[in-house]
Structure 1
Amino acid sequence: MIISSLVVQLLAGCAKEKDGYYIAMQLIQELESNGLQKDSVIYGSLIAICASNNLCEKAEEYFNQMKDNCCTPNIFHYSSLLNAYSISGDYVKAEKLIKDMNSAGIEGTKVVLTTLLKVYARGGLFERSRELLAELETLGYAKDEMPYCLLMDNLAKAGHLAEAREVFKDMKAKNLKTDGYAYSIMISAFCRAGLFKEARDLAKEFDASNEKCDLVMLNTLLRAYCNSGDMDSVMKMLRKMDELTILPDWNTFQILTKYFCRENLFHLAYRTVEDMNSKGHQLDEELCTSLILKLAKAGSPSEAFSLYNMLKYRKRNVCKSLHEKMLNILVAAGFLKDAYVVMKDNMEMISTLSLGNFTTSFMKFGNINLINDVVKALHRSGRTLDTDIFRIAISRYIAKPEKIELLLHLLKWMEGHGFVVDSSSRNLLLKNSHIFGQKHLIAEILSRQHVMSRKLGNLHK
């Protein structure tokens, strides 16, 4: 009995985990290998775990296995399996289960009847749901908001917003105890329907009469205020979160980022994503990509590049087109050193046109000390290097006599890889070779290139 109780406690912990079912299976297999036999209590825990993990068939399997092993189901087993049926709204199986339960002499409790209401509501049987809600009221089982919320939520999600609103009004008229769930359902329903004023008004109604609320409700209120463009109320909600020492979650950051983007407050949106990233939340690639483009258009390429790096390092496999978009933004902004890093790391994903624009810009205006590196990177990737690239590079070096070593390195590299300077660059080099103090060396390299050029010409005749 002590061992069984301990196992149940361990299984209860599994139910709270994201992969709770698989963790529970590992535990059961290990215990069974050591001779543990499942009893009705353990079966009950397994059925409940299956229900909470949306594994209806597995829940049925354990329920039937329990009966085959001569363990008599109790109200907890029936309630847990009924909850599994509520996931898909399988009212046929649910009604059969209720009949079996009644035949076993077990009467429906508040939990069982409320769960059956959830099955009907999710299954779209709204008339039956209303009848059962009336029965719950008669039995005194509808003194809180939960049964009304189940009906209201599924009506709204099925597109019956007016009927959901009537259920909400009926619940409010009865002065039933609420922790904000009903308000959250209706505010979310109004937002989905695009009724932002109604959502905001209902949010204000709840906010005015409730000093404290949890993060889920705060996010719901925040969404309503953001959708209606009520900046004052948005700021008030953020202050309230600070006062209640409630930490924002992924949803909070998403709501705020989308709102700031809609209001063209791109710097605030960037700061929000930056804060979100620092707290370890997963970044939304689509939203971040949209913000990157908007930041660039608004004249904030540095923030756009910073956001690109956040997204790239947080999510390794970003959309291939993002690299090219970022390269074009950096080239247009003149951030050519950063553009070189993007180009070098993602060259195979960048179009010939964008790569050509980058190369021309870098040869003309980029860091002169990196010109040779750019040329080599392009060649390694198999990209075409035309004479204009070398012509611009050589012109840059001639204008900076102190960069003679880089010029010589480029000329030797060209010779070693079958490239020759064009006639205009050749004349320019010979004309200015005295400036570098390397007249004979430059002349020798050019002479060898000329011989190689003639040989290549003869081969192609």
Structure 2
Amino acid sequence: MSLKHLLLRQTRKNFSKINGNLLDRQSPNINATHIFITKPSFSLLDSHRGYYSSLAARNFELSKLNSLFSRCIHFTVTKLSNAAIEPKPESAEVEDDDGSMNEFLSRFVWIMREKISEEFPDYDKQTVNAMLLMIVEKVVSEMEKGRFEQTLKASTDNPDWDLSEDLWKTVTEVSNMVLDDMKKATKKEKMKGFLLSREVQEMCRFAGEVGIRGDMLREFRFKWAREKMEESEFYESLEQLRKEARTQEENKDSASGAEAASEVKSEAVSLPKRRGKLKYKIYGLDLSDPKWSELADKLHVAEKLILPQEPKPISGMCKLVTEKILLLNENDDPSPLLAEWKELLQPTRIDWITLLDRLNEKNRFLYFKVAELLLSEESFQTNIRDYSKLIEVYAKENRLEDAERILVKMNEKGIAPDILTTIYLIHMYSKAGNLDSAKKAFDSLRSHGFQPDEKVYNSMIMAYVNAGQPKLGESLMRDMEARDIKPSQDIYMALLRSFSQCGYVSGAGRIAATMQFAGISPNLESCTLLVEAYGQAGDPDKARNNFDYMIKLGHAPDDRCTASMIAAYEKKNLLDKALDLLLQLEKDGFEPGLATYAVLVDWLGKLQLVEEAEQVLAKIGAQGHYLPIKVRISLCDMYSRAGIEKKALQALKILEAKKQELGHDDFERIINGLVAGGFLQDAKRMEGVMEAQGFIASQPLQMALRTSQALRGKRLP
């Protein structure tokens, strides 16, 4: 038995002698399990209050419990030294344990007294000390079982407690707190030793010589001492590992020697016959269980699906046929060579895919043709992904008819388009401007329960925008926002542009406000679109407000924006305001461009201000611009109405040469101008050109032509 155990045991005996065996004589059927350091147990403690008071009444000064422990330990040490106990090799360790134990008991008693006093403020000091005596005696008895750190952990797992569970939990918490404080104090003392070490002192002396003093020197000193301490602990851990390794090697050598001896001994002995299945384990798993064989079969099947297969080697005649296939032209029929190749190689799916990859690298058009042929090939093992892949490729290349042909083949095979294929169709139809097919695919996607993502929403919104239905596109945008999908700035601008072109002022205003709420600041493009929207709606005042607001934001108006503002004034024929705006902008350094001049030429032509319009034309020519088709239409209308035959016919000749660029409204304006100017033959000829281009003259225009013929070529007033 170690000196520590002897010391504790003797301390217990001496402690009992000093107390006069109070607890043994005065325990009126009370056990320490009645003690709880919790409020709900107050009544239990209060019921035994007289017992604790009786302990205090026997003149036992428990307030001096710390000094009492010290006297007991001192008495025990003196007695053991008089008995001439010989020192043992671990005497230094025992002394350290004694010091640690004394410090632990001192700290423990101090904190426990405070906790008991807090929980029972109505009890007097003597009663509290009596309660503390019972707790400490139990702790000391538990400490006799071994080192107190191990005792604490072991006691929490011991069901044979004399103290209650709550009380022992409090004791454990206080003990751990005391141990942590003791460890911190030990580390602090160790740190002090390194602060006073020779190396740290020399480093501080050198730092002082180079001018480092005050708080900085103090920080460096602690840093150097901490590094030295960590270095020391590192080497101590290495030494400990070396000792453990040496011990393991010695144990291994002794075990191998014993094993060799047992083998020699059993050389002449035969192994016994095994009965039943052999059970073997790896890392605690019983691998003899039949479930592992089932798992191996499943892994084998999964391996075939996951790991890529290797294509068959191509050689001999099959190699020659392969080269012939690769050398085919786009218009050649690959079916005979494919049949020959199939007969020679007996290919699987991986072989066909390898051939398609080589075709895709060498001849993309031939790749599409072969890929479509393989959709009906049994050995190719066609699945829905092969169809969707072809549809995706055709959709990206805007080959709408080819993609629809693959879709028809899918339906003929009884394969319904899945979500991925439907998404490809939405992108394709939206890009091609086929709104009805895009809506059908979008509704099919939603019917499958799939929530569209940002790309699908963007495609459908652009389909509505391109079809001139921005309101439906806006409703989809609101649906995106409701699902916390933030539309991109391009989508906002596309909707704003569509509302502006259609003249939907309220819709354009809503989109502009939504953009600002989304954190997108107004730019030159968005402000220009708002000006165009109000100009299309015939509200030049609000158009001017947005124009001025754009300048206030710091955006200088460009030629397009200025032209939109002039066009807004043209709707109400406010020529004076338009000219004032141009003069003001020219003072600020603005120079009108082709767009602004084109609007002015059209406006002046309608007012029959031929000379002013020609002056503007001269400015366009001075800038080196080529007259756009809209300006030439305006000139033809102006010269026809003014009766300037030569210039009217020159303009008309140019327009006839560009008839493919003319729209229905353009033809209507040209013919009306010719009729108004009395050029009836030219008007009838242009009506025939109009019908040849697929346009039908409106009823007012037909009425004007018939009226002009009835008047025999006279000009209409």
Task: Give the TM-score normalised by the residue count of structure 2.
Answer: 0.35
Q: Contact between 1:253 and 1:276, CA under 8 Å: does it hold in 2?
A: yes
Q: Contact between 1:89 and 1:123, CA under 8 Å: does it hold in 2?
A: no
Distance 1:140 1:290 in 2: 46
The answer as to 2:524 corresponding to 1:145 is yes
Distance 2:683 2:508 in 1: 48
The answer as to 2:561 corresponding to 1:186 is no
Count of equivalent residues: 297
| Deviation (angstroms), 1:171 | 0.9
* Residue in structure 2 matching 1:171, options 526, 535, 550: 550
Q: Contact between 1:47 and 1:63, CA under 8 Å: does it hold in 2?
A: no
Partner of 1:45: 428
Distance 2:591 2:649 in 1: 32
* Residue in structure 1 matching 2:621, options 228, 231, 239: 239
Mark the CA change 1:132 to 1:33 in structure 2 (over 3 Å): closer, same or farther. closer
* Residue in structure 1 matching 2:474, options 91, 94, 111: 94
Distance 1:117 1:285 in 2: 29
Q: Contact between 1:225 and 1:231, CA under 8 Å: does it hold in 2?
A: yes
Q: Counterpart amino acid of 1:101?
A: M
Partner of 1:291: 674
The answer as to 2:499 corresponding to 1:124 is no
The answer as to 2:443 corresponding to 1:60 is no
5+ unaligned residues in a row in structure 2: which ranges?
Answer: 1-387, 412-416
The 5-angstrom pairing of residues 218-367 of structure 1 reads 219-227=598-606, 229=609, 230-239=612-621, 243-244=624-625, 246=626, 248-249=628-629, 251-280=630-659, 284=667, 287-288=670-671, 290-291=673-674, 294-295=677-678, 304=679, 307=682, 310-311=685-686, 313-315=688-690, 319=702, 322=705, 325=708
Mark the CA change 1:232 to 1:305 in structure 2 (over 3 Å): closer, same or farther. closer
5+ unaligned residues in a row in structure 1: which ranges?
Answer: 15-23, 296-303, 333-461
| Deviation (angstroms), 1:315 | 4.4
Please state whether the residue corresponding to 1:124 is helix, strand or coil.
helix
Q: Contact between 2:499 and 2:505, CA under 8 Å: does it hold in 1?
A: yes
Q: Contact between 2:642 and 2:677, CA under 8 Å: does it hold in 1?
A: no
Distance 1:66 1:107 in 2: 21
| Deviation (angstroms), 1:167 | 0.5
Task: Give per-residue Cα distances to partners, 1:50-95, cap 9 Å, x unaligned.
Answer: 4xx7x4x65433322233457652323223433455644537x734
Q: Contact between 2:391 and 2:406, CA under 8 Å: does it hold in 1?
A: no
The answer as to 2:379 corresponding to 1:7 is no
Q: Contact between 1:257 and 1:273, CA under 8 Å: does it hold in 2?
A: yes
Distance 1:209 1:236 in 2: 19
Partner of 1:196: 575
Q: Contact between 2:446 and 2:452, CA under 8 Å: does it hold in 1?
A: yes
Q: Contact between 1:126 and 1:155, CA under 8 Å: does it hold in 2?
A: no
Q: Contact between 1:274 and 1:307, CA under 8 Å: does it hold in 2?
A: no
Q: Counterpart amino acid of 2:552?
A: A
Q: Contact between 1:256 and 1:269, CA under 8 Å: does it hold in 2?
A: yes
Please state whether the residue corresponding to 1:147 is helix, strand or coil.
helix
Q: Counterpart amino acid of 1:248?
A: P
Mark the CA change 1:172 to 1:105 in structure 2 (over 3 Å): closer, same or farther. same
Mark the CA change 1:197 to 1:266 in structure 2 (over 3 Å): closer, same or farther. farther
Task: Give the TM-score normalised by the residue count of structure 1.
Answer: 0.51
The 5-angstrom pairing of residues 16-27 of structure 1 reads 24=400, 26-27=401-402
Q: Counterpart amino acid of 2:395?
A: V
Distance 1:211 1:156 in 2: 19
Distance 2:707 2:605 in 1: 32
Mark the CA change 1:101 to 1:231 in structure 2 (over 3 Å): closer, same or farther. closer
| Deviation (angstroms), 1:273 | 1.1
RCO comparison, higher one (Cα < 8 Å, 6+): 1
Please state whether the residue corresponding to 1:284 is helix, strand or coil.
helix
Mark the CA change 1:309 to 1:113 in structure 2 (over 3 Å): closer, same or farther. closer
Task: Give per-residue Cα distances to partners, 1:110-158, cap 9 Å, x unaligned.
Answer: 223445656887372576455335335xx2443x323223333333333
Mark the CA change 1:204 to 1:226 in structure 2 (over 3 Å): closer, same or farther. farther
* Residue in structure 2 matching 1:29, options 393, 399, 404: 404
Q: Counterpart amino acid of 1:187?
A: I
| Deviation (angstroms), 1:287 | 4.1
Q: Contact between 1:149 and 1:185, CA under 8 Å: does it hold in 2?
A: yes
Q: Contact between 1:191 and 1:227, CA under 8 Å: does it hold in 2?
A: no
Distance 2:546 2:427 in 1: 34
Distance 1:105 1:286 in 2: 49
Partner of 1:424: none
| Deviation (angstroms), 1:165 | 0.9
| Deviation (angstroms), 1:166 | 0.5
Q: RMSD of the TM alignment (CA)?
A: 4.3
Distance 1:107 1:201 in 2: 42
Distance 1:201 1:149 in 2: 19
| Deviation (angstroms), 1:32 | 1.6
Mark the CA change 1:212 to 1:66 in structure 2 (over 3 Å): closer, same or farther. farther
Q: Counterpart amino acid of 1:44?
A: H
Mark the CA change 1:285 to 1:29 in structure 2 (over 3 Å): closer, same or farther. same
Distance 1:125 1:312 in 2: 38
Task: Give per-residue Cα distances to partners, 1:174-226, cap 9 Å, x unaligned.
Answer: 2337654322322221111112343455567789745865xx66633532453
Q: Contact between 1:183 and 1:206, CA under 8 Å: does it hold in 2?
A: no
The answer as to 2:81 corresponding to 1:81 is no
Q: Counterpart amino acid of 1:43?
A: I
| Deviation (angstroms), 1:5 | 5.1
Partner of 1:394: none
Partner of 1:425: none
Q: Counterpart amino acid of 2:408?
A: S
State the identity %. Answer: 14
